[in-house]
Structure formats: structure tokens, C-alpha cells
Structure 1
């Protein structure tokens, strides 16, 4: 620690354990990235934001890799990486985010809309239309039509992530229906139905009122039958310009449906894997297409959804080499690059958001009413020696 008051915060969700917050590895990497740039980064969860203008507790990384709890003033810029699932958590998050902004803190919490909103936004660009699979809100008629015409259909939550809740339905020659995918706990399942009506009743119960999308089913598997996709990570650099950090292949288990790492997938070198599957000439074309779309998509999404910091863009490739855009994630992981040994992309993936956020802090006017931070766990004697009292900032 440098002993300076942290100008940069990282807000994530609370969890049981030590340290008591999500994505400890990412938080550690971003804290180290800030340190290399001469700054400190404080990690905290929404419940820690106090209405007296402090964050209590905030966690700062020590040199030995452990975390120390402190009470600090509100950071000037906050990077938000929250994955809240409970309604109460989401309420507290909204309150914390609103309070921070009212106090003048820049909260980089850019989120894109649901998957359907993203597809509608991107479909306005003629160059992207050929790469967008047919997508619509769930209606039984859409499922029935695709099963009749294509003998397959794909369903996914409009607001889901990590492959959770996705369903693939296949219609066999003997008119049986098979539904397979991942449930809300992201566990794999497989069910068979002898009648279409039985399938539709089960679907209604599975979705439980959740907003779902229906898409044409795409054959996004490699030669050995393993599902795969391409993850392109795009991030803003310290000048606020979008830059491609890296591309990796994510390969799922053979016979599975999704390639997400949370669903048991693994990361592989995009150049090597695609060359083995499609040959060097087609691989060059595919990567060039991904790079062009990765230049265009962030700008379009920012126009519709406001300021963003980073995006994970997922692409699928059919056996004939046709490239499809699958979805955009504004809370992308970065473990793929570490897994494939891409040290440059791995380092950039944590340093770029930090560099961008720190550049914003340096453009802000210095506050005139800052007070010294007090460690969260202090003795009464230390408090008396410091002689510091908190002032309410509203």
C-alpha cells in the first residue's frame, strides 16, 4: 500500500468467505494493475456505502496478497462489477449506485439492455444483419413453427448469462421431442416428450414467467461434436478509445450445448483452434471479420445504452464457416486469456479498465472537503490520537 487515500473503487457483490466479496482473483489483479500505475484501489460491496459519505468496510490489497478492511471516503471513480441474483441485493445496489452519483462519484456501471434490445440495436447496421440469427420474444407459435420447418429451436433468457437457462429442442424422425440445456442453477438436464403439447406445458413451467427469446438453432460445433464460440474482449484504453484486447475460443464438453467456462468449458487459442478446424486461409478471414465487427459493435451499443467500459462479444461459427454474432456481455470475464497463456491479453484485460478509470479521476477537480480515512478496526486510543470525526455529506 502506498498510504494514499484510494481514488478508485471497485464495487462487487458480497459473498461468504474470505475475502467476503465476489471475483476475488479479478479484484486482486485489478488492484495490482492500479498499484503499477501509482494508485490504490478499494474493493467494496453495495451494502458498505454509508450515507455519511464513507465506505465501511472497504478492502485494500496488502503486499502479501491478503486484504485489509478500512473505512474510506467515497472514491472519485467506481468500476462496477456486480452479479446480483436476489431482489434485495438488486435494491441495495440501485440505492448505492444512486447515492454515489449524487455525491459526485463517477460510477462506471455501463450495462447493455437485454439480448433482444441488443439485437434490435445492431440490426440497424446493414453490415451486421447477415451475422444476426433470427430472434424474437418467446411465443409457442415460434417454437412450433421452427420445430415444424427446421426440426430444431433454441431458447434463452433475455437477461441471462453464463449459459444458465438455455434450452435446445430437437424433433426426431419418430416425432419425439428432446429438450436439453442448463437449469437456473446452471446444471445440465435432458428431457424427452412424446407429444408437442406436453413439451409446451413443460416449457411454460420451466420459464416461470421469465422473459425468454426464441432463435433459429445454429450448428455451432467443431469436427468432434464439441460446442464452441469465440470470445472477443473489447475495452476502452486510457484515452477512452475502444480497443480489441484479445480473442479466445471457448470449447464446451463433447455432446454439450454451451461453451461457457462456467458450464464446464475450456479456453483455447483462437488462431490454433480455428486453423485446425477451418484451415489457415478461412481462419484469417474469420478473425478479420470478428475484428471488424468488434470495432463497430461497441460504438453502436454505446449510442443506445450509454457509456460502457468493456464488452465481451461472443461469436459462433457454423461448419461451413458462416460467422454469427451471439451476444454482448458488459461484465465479461478474463480468465480465458490466462488459461491459454496469452500474457499480453491477460495483462491488458485488467489494466485497461483501471487506466481508463484513473484517467477520469485525473480530469476531475480536486475536492476541498476530504477528510483522512480511518481504519475500520481501530482501538479507542488510536481514534483519540487521530482526532478525526466524520462529517455527513448529503
Structure 2
């Protein structure tokens, strides 16, 4: 059974014909956008529940008739079909702009929509990793699991960090995702320095430098003008020395309660510095992996500790950054059995949930729709001219996330 937090007041069940929009970045590929399998699954689940939903790229917004180009999965014909639809009431952001051109186009399109329309987001958005670490480290109940973290400020800052942390460091983009452009530096037994990481396209990087100076110079070119964080290079390894972390998916149910949908282990590809599935990693049972590494009793205790801490983290993140529908939380466990918080993701993938226990994969897809449906039904009976309690309509640079206590 999934862990849940105390219930909020249930929503009134009424019929509604308002729609949920799924934000995507349309491409010329087939299928026409990323995560098409997941979005297809949402269509199937939504059809069973009498929900209208469609995917759309905000770039297709037409202000003259307030429509967008909508993609719908035709279940009977097993194909994607497109047509013009009115801008939806609520949007679920599953867009993945990759190039700088796509990112700029996406941002501009959203600004254009917000200047003329009030748009509501199903899920909130977290700030950069540095801010998340800062907020969580101030909580006494969470400070011990946050790794020491500092902003990279050039070669001198990294050199000082290496002297303090056993000649090793893990560097990550302050606003990166899916393990892209992360890199580690560590002194080898021979006194040389190894750089290991992933490029923007997730291809692995593995390089030996003859000296610390050479390694730092290479990293300086690698980082360029980007903002990076420095952390200790934790020993987060599986039984075969592969990179290992744990993803816990936290989602709200139809009553607005936080639930733990599941926890999965992620094992990195051979030689990889990360365990991300996008970088060739694979998912496994968290319970089995922890038992294999630490024994049944300690493994179960670590799993329960992750779940306990996860409820504290999502509560703190909501208190600070506004409402969310789901958050993915990543943890590491070092060889000594110490639990570490790695990062939070407000646009979590759910591929790993297939290894998180019976029903976790299904719940991972169903929960956002259950939660969205409760909000849509509430909106159908709410005076839209009155801002909901705790917020208002979205304006440029600001979004409304949900309505737990209407």
C-alpha cells in the first residue's frame, strides 16, 4: 500500500467538459514529441475516466481565436491526430526543449500566452538546485542528509575544494537535468586525475589528466560561463561498483494528499558517473538492492527512512515554493550506509517505477490525472471571477499550482 499524508477535504464530484492540456515541444519526428508513450497512456486513462485532454506546443497559440494545435491519441485507430482546440483550463508541463533555440522559442511562446490569457499549471516549478539545497539545509530535520555544497567560482574555488575534500569533487549544472553535463574529478592511486561525466547529449566522458592543474583547466573550459555546484564525490556504488541512486516519486491523490507512489533503485551503465536512465542506467527493486548491500534489516530501515524524509521534503518545498502535484526525489546511500539527498525534480520521469513494486507504474500515470480531474471538477463549480484561496490567476512570471483548500 502506498504511504499517504492526512487527507484534505474531498472535491465535489460533478460532470465537466473542461480539458487538461499537456505541454510538449512539437518536433518533426514520429511521434511528434518526447514522452509520447507516457502521453498516450494518459489519453487511455483519461478516456476511461471521461476526461478530455490533449497535447500541445505553446508555440502554436493563436490569440485571434484563442486556440492551439492539439494532438490527441485516437485509441480506436491507434494513431496521433491533430486539430485546433481552445486553450485548456489547466496545463500539465511535460515539455522537454533540448536546444537553446527550442528553449528560447518555448519561453517566448509561454510569455505570449500569459500576456493575454490566465493559465493554470497542474504542477509547480522548483528553482535551481542551489536554492533547493539552501532551503532544505536550513531545516533541522533535513540538514544532516544534504551534502556540503558550494558554488563553483572558477579554478581557485575548485582547487580549494579539492584540498578540503580528499582531492575529489562532483560538479553539476545548477539548472541541469537528466544527468547532462555532470562531471567528477578524482585523484587516482598513481597521482593522476580522472575526469568522468556526461556531455549534453548524454554521451560519456572519461579522461585521465597527468596533473591537478591540467584537470582543473579542462574543467574550466568544460564549465565555461555556466553556473555549477561543487559537492563531495560520494561513494554511491552498487554491488558491482556501478553508480547507484534511488528515485522516490511523490504525488498527490484526488484528495490533495501527498502519497509515496514508489521507490526504485537506478543502476548506472558500466563506467558511468551517474545512474540516470537517460544515460544508459537501468531500474531495479530498491528493496532488493538495499538488502543485497546492507542486509534485510538495515535495508528496510533505509527504505523507511527515505519515505519518512520524503514527506518532510515535499512539505518544506511546498511551504517555500508553492503548490505541487508531484515531485521526484533522488537519494544516495554511501558504502557506510549513510543516506544522502541528491536532488528534487518537479518534472519527474517515471520509467523507473516499473521496478518500484506492484501497481507503482500504473499509479505513477494515474495520479496526475486523478488530481487534475479533481481540480477541473472544482473549477466547474467555482466562480472563475474570484481568485482561489491562497493565490490568484497566473500572470507573467507567476503560476497557480492547485487548490487544496477551496
Change (3 A) 1:108 1:102: farther
Alpha-carbon separation, structure 2, partners of 1:351 and 1:21: 21
Q: Is the 8 A contact 2:254 2:371 kept in 1?
A: yes
- How many angstroms apart in 2 are the aligned matches of 1:173 and 1:287? 34
Partner in structure 2 of residue 350 of structure 1 = 365
Q: Structure 1 regions of 5+ residues with no counterpart?
A: 369-394
Greater CA drift, 208-217 or 190-199? 190-199
Match of 2:159 among 132, 137, 144: 144
- In structure 2, the CA distance between the partners of 1:282 and 1:215, relative to structure 1 (3 Å rule), is same
- The whole-number CA distance in structure 1 between the counterparts of 2:93 and 2:65 is 18
Compared with structure 1, are the counterparts of its residues 101 and 285 closer, same or farther at alpha carbon in structure 2 (3 Å cutoff)? farther
Q: CA deviation at 1:313?
A: 0.3
1:1-394 equivalence runs, <5 A:
7-64=19-76, 65-98=78-111, 99=113, 102-139=116-153, 140-149=155-164, 150-338=166-354, 340=355, 342-365=357-380
Q: Does the CA contact (< 8 Å) of 1:233 and 1:247 recur in 2?
A: yes
TM-score by length of 2: 0.85
SS at match of 1:202: helix
The Cα offsets for residues 348-372 of structure 1, whole Å up to 9 and x where unpaired, read as 111111111121111124799xxxx
TM-score, structure 1 as length reference:
0.87
Distance 1:308 1:242 in 2: 10
Distance 1:101 1:265 in 2: 41
Structure with greater Cα Rg: 1
Aligned-partner Cα distance in 2 for 1:16–1:6: 29
Q: Structure 1 residues 335 and 112 mapped into 2: Cα distance closer, same or farther (>3 Å)? A: same
Moved more, 284-293 or 27-36: 27-36
Aligned equivalent of 1:388 = none
Q: CA deviation at 1:18?
A: 2.4
* TM superposition shift of 1:222: 1.7
Q: Name the structure 2 match of 1:379.
A: none
Is contact 1:44–1:57 with CA below 8 Å preserved after alignment? yes
Q: For 1:365 and 1:92, locate their aligned partners in 2 and report how far apart those are by CA, in whole Å.
A: 32
